[in-house]
Structure 1
């Protein structure tokens, strides 16, 4: 089996498990432990901020240890253990520890899978492979959601635990059976075989890169607008006496279905059109999605807004790791930078629901959605600036073509 086939299987199986139980956590705790929404929200928020603190250090761990197969397997094991510990859990502290363990595993997966991909395919093939990774990731989410939806009526809400557990075990198997010699540590960080052992760049120098800071700020603003939009839309449907659960499930499925072809297309376009231009498209889509969500009340027509969500999220999932790799290539700190960027953008996502709720209290439904779209306009301005700066990947490829032409 080819190493890229193992990458595909890993991404299928980790697609659903990265967030642990995710949206099913609240349902389980409410039914099994009679938890109130406020209590569920508190533990989810605390876990969310805890994982933000771990994101950067986990990226640094991936860079320093240089064993992504071991780290991916360990992360999946942590997700499995944390999720199964939730089955008997009822006390707040026990639920918090179990969910934090699962969420920490999901946080570690992102830089570890990125490092494994870079070490197998190399920098030149990374954009296209990242598109494939994300496409298989979304297919895994769809498969798990379908299995849980079909199995809930017969087996009850506990089916979510068993689906997640099975996918975690399969992810571990797919990871550990990946040929060890397919991964090259020097290829994963941009060091040539005959370079000796170059020192890693200083963390301050890498994380202090103005372009990386601008990217992180833009992503934080994007997630501030995007993170809570579907939740707010569900609340709007409830207020309209519409079957909110039914339509929210449809919206999630639609968005994931759209992300599959978008991720593949973005991966193939990244080199030809530039990854930062892809980010421009993604960030420009969010204000339009916000406007549709704010001005349209018919749940059928609101599907269009979630199609746009699939477009934006599909592009961001592909483009961000590629841009971070461009900006940090050869430093030996790529995963440290990716983990830090993920932490910063996660702050925006963590604040999004609160921001949307506050905007609704002050401005009503339409004003709330327009307020969620506003940060994306600021993010778009930052990415326009970023796009105006030289793109390392494209510049180096131009030089290679010029040298080849001169030697011909």
Structure 2
């Protein structure tokens, strides 16, 4: 099996465990622990904020090591332990402990996987491989959702825990069998592979995070997630209000969106160098206000499937384009995963605020106007994406220092 095939396998099994139990956690606690909706909501908020705070430090930790396989194994192990720990325990303390473990694992998972990918395929082949990674990631989500759907009648509310636990264990096995020799730490950071491993060309955090294009991308992603994060939930709430089977339709919409993301991710990975990163981001941001407009105009559950196809297009393109832009703008700095972690925190913050904004809009306006209002930050994100200069041809924004200077600085440490 080729190293690229190992990457695909790891992405398949980690696809559905990155976000933790998500909506299944609330259902489990309400049914088995007799938790109130307010108590579930408060714990979910605390867990979400904890995960947001870990993204940046997790990226920095990955940047300062060259052992992504170990980090991936630890991340998947933490998710596995946290997922299984909650089965026998329903008290507040144990729920928080278990979800802090899964949150820490999820924060470490993405930067470690990105570093492993760069260290195996290098910068030139990164766009194509990132498209494959995301395609297998979404395929894993569809696979896990299907298992939960089929196992639900037999296993009850415990089905998600068993599926997530099995996927996490399979991910650990996939990481362990990935050949160690396929990864090169210097290749992962953009440093010369001919130099000794102890020579590092690491830029300061300020140099990297003050990049204007990186800041512009961060603002665009925050606005994108502010518009996108709560839209499907609002669709489900409107279905409930109109007397439809919201749970069944939401499951259909999730699967439709994930199935759409698979070919979109493959296409984006194959066309990222020819079309450019900015074009991918712009298409993603333009598809989102179209989705909001569609949700405002269409109330038939069958018709809303088209809106979730647009969700698959926008999210599929974002998942491929963002790591490419970050790698372009930080290549050679030794801070790529730090920057990616910081961006993930801002995306998560936008998604967290989306629930507050979306719920407030529905209480103040009607359903149609709420969806139209969510299109506003999506249009603003598209404007910022249009403003963002193309990063494909940036080259090496942080060129390594001369070897003798680097060796001298290393000898002084």
Q: State the match for 1:138 in structure 2.
A: 138
* Preserved contact between residue 223 and residue 349 of structure 1 (Cα < 8 Å): yes
Question: Aligned partners of 1:95 and 1:342: how far apart in 2?
Answer: 24
Once the two structures are superposed, residues 334-353 of structure 1 have per-residue CA deviations (whole angstroms, 9 ceiling, x without a partner) of: 00000001001110001111
Structure 1 stretches of 4+ moved >6 Å = none
**Aligned pair 1:329/2:331, yes or no?**
yes
Q: State the match for 1:350 in structure 2.
A: 352
* Preserved contact between residue 328 and residue 395 of structure 2 (Cα < 8 Å): no
* Preserved contact between residue 329 and residue 394 of structure 2 (Cα < 8 Å): no
Long gaps (5+) in structure 2: 397-413
Aligned with 2:110: secondary structure?
Answer: helix
Q: CA deviation at 1:93?
A: 2.4
Q: CA deviation at 1:395?
A: 4.8
Once the two structures are superposed, residues 168-205 of structure 1 have per-residue CA deviations (whole angstroms, 9 ceiling, x without a partner) of: 11100110111101000011011112455243000111
Once the two structures are superposed, residues 211-259 of structure 1 have per-residue CA deviations (whole angstroms, 9 ceiling, x without a partner) of: 1111011101000000000001100000001111111111001001100
When normalised by structure 1's length, the TM-score is 0.95
Could you tell me which of 253, 268, 276 is aligned with 2:255?
253
Q: State the match for 1:400 in structure 2.
A: none
In the alignment of these two chains, the number of paired residues is 394
Q: State the match for 2:83 in structure 1.
A: 83
* Preserved contact between residue 328 and residue 394 of structure 2 (Cα < 8 Å): no
Question: Aligned partners of 1:289 and 1:340: how far apart in 2?
Answer: 27
Aligned with 1:124: secondary structure?
Answer: coil
Q: CA deviation at 1:363?
A: 1.3
Q: State the match for 1:114 in structure 2.
A: 114
Question: Aligned partners of 1:57 and 1:284: how far apart in 2?
Answer: 32
Once the two structures are superposed, residues 90-144 of structure 1 have per-residue CA deviations (whole angstroms, 9 ceiling, x without a partner) of: 1122212211211210111110000000000000000110000000001111111
Higher normalized helix content (fraction of residues): 1
Q: State the match for 1:406 in structure 2.
A: none
When normalised by structure 2's length, the TM-score is 0.94
Could you tell me which of 314, 317, 321 is aligned with 2:316?
314
Question: Aligned partners of 1:338 and 1:264: how far apart in 2?
Answer: 21
Question: Aligned partners of 2:115 and 2:139: how far apart in 1?
Answer: 21
Question: Aligned partners of 2:244 and 2:383: how far apart in 1?
Answer: 37
Q: CA deviation at 1:17?
A: 0.9
Against the structure 1 CA distance between its residues 390 and 277, is the aligned structure 2 distance closer, same or farther, given a 3 Å change threshold? closer
**Aligned pair 1:190/2:199, yes or no?**
no
Q: State the match for 1:298 in structure 2.
A: 300
Q: CA deviation at 1:371?
A: 1.4
Could you tell me which of 233, 244, 257 is aligned with 1:231?
233
Q: CA deviation at 1:297?
A: 0.8
